[in-house]
């Protein structure tokens, strides 16, 4: 089981399962490279509403048993019930995985509004409560939002909900991506003031194409500082220059976070081992 400590400047990565089954070998190739960086853990995302949940467990098992790196399997409250959760936790434990990232999830396109509204576990905190009931010894991570969750009315409300979630038995928080470190520092201050004292890992997404920034911002709601917009305007038209500039921007963010003593860096790798290795070497 994982043991993430505060103030120890950890390093971890996230990968996602492929859409096509055959592409799983590409993910394995990426993982074979990522393991060389000896991250504290590699987490694997979970398809909206539970789609592809088997692939999450399969890839997590590869990380845990073949790469010999601690794996965190994501899971969502949306599409979950008590029996399904029991089966997933049993399967994960059988594969030697004792770490999960418990999320609420969003409404999948194919799910009816009514089904989403009537979900059994309303929030991530409800899922965490159930995980703790079924498996006391699991390492449970949860998500947090330096620029507040898009559905929250304000930061005070968002942090109150976060505090309640952490109190259900969260071991560490992983942040949504952000591109302005000052946003993260002020968020951390508010968390500590609210009595949230678990380690908080800073989510960094290297932006290597202009299109990727558009999609990420749309999904995450993260704001884009002028410095990053200028980089996109200057280099966006050239794939190689943009990739290099995006790596440099992420390296700059990480250097500054290190200087400020954050608990850890969590890289959203987008399954790109070369970009992750370049960033790792540079810092």
Neighbouring-strand partners of residue 101: 74, 141
121: how many CB neighbours lie within 10 A of its CB?
23
Closest CB to ligand FAD among 149 and 244? 149
Residues that bind ligand FAD (CB under 6 A): 45-46, 48, 74, 76, 103-106, 123-125, 143, 149, 151-152, 158, 161, 165, 174, 176, 203
Closest CB to ligand FAD among 111 and 283? 111
Closest CB to ligand FAD among 143 and 242? 143
Two structure tokens written together for 282: 């540079």
Distance CA 147, CA 149 (A): 7
Query: What's the min distance (Å) between Cβ of 76 and ligand FAD?
Result: 5
Query: Catalytic residues, which ones?
Result: 14
Two structure tokens written together for 35: 């393991």
Query: What's the min distance (Å) between Cβ of 151 and ligand FAD?
Result: 4
Distance CA 10, CA 140 (A): 17
Query: What's the min distance (Å) between Cβ of 43 and ligand FAD?
Result: 8
Closest CB to ligand FAD among 104 and 243? 104
Distances (CA, A) of 203 to 90, 91, 215, 257, 269: 29, 28, 16, 11, 10
Within 8 A by CB and 6+ apart from 14, the residues are: 42, 43, 44, 45, 266, 267, 268, 269
The residue behind tokens 């592409």 is 23
Distance CA 232, CA 234 (A): 5
Query: What's the min distance (Å) between Cβ of 48 and ligand FAD?
Result: 4
């Amino acid at each position: 089981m994982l043991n993430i400590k505060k103030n120890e400047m950890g390093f971890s990565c996230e990968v996602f399962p492929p859409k096509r089954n055959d592409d799983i070998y590409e993910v394995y190739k990426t993982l074979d490279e990522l393991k060389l960086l000896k991250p504290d853990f590699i987490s694997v995302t979970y398809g909206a509403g539970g789609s592809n949940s088997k692939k999450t467990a399969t890839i997590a098992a590869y990380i845990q048993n073949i790469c010999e790196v601690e794996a965190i399997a994501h899971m969502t409250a949306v599409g979950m019930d008590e029996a399904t959760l029991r089966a997933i936790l049993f399967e994960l434990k059988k594969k030697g995985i004792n770490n999960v990232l418990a999320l609420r999830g969003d409404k999948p396109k194919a799910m009816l509004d009514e089904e989403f509204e009537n979900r059994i576990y309303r929030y991530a905190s409800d899922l965490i409560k159930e995980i703790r009931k079924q498996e006391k010894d699991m390492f449970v991570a949860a998500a947090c939002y330096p620029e507040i969750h898009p559905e929250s009315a304000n930061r005070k409300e968002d942090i109150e909900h976060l505090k309640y979630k952490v109190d259900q038995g969260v071991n560490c928080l992983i942040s949504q991506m952000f591109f302005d470190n000052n946003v993260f520092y002020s968020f951390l201050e508010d968390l500590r003031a609210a009595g949230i004292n678990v380690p908080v890992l800073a989510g960094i997404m290297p932006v290597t194409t202009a299109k990727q920034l558009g999609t990420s911002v749309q999904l995450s709601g993260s704001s884009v500082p002028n410095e990053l917009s200028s980089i996109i305007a200057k280099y966006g038209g050239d794939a190689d220059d943009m990739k290099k500039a995006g790596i440099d921007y992420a390296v700059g963010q990480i250097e500054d976070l290190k200087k400020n003593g954050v608990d850890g860096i969590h890289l959203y790798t987008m399954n790109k081992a070369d970009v992750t290795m370049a960033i790792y070497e540079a810092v």
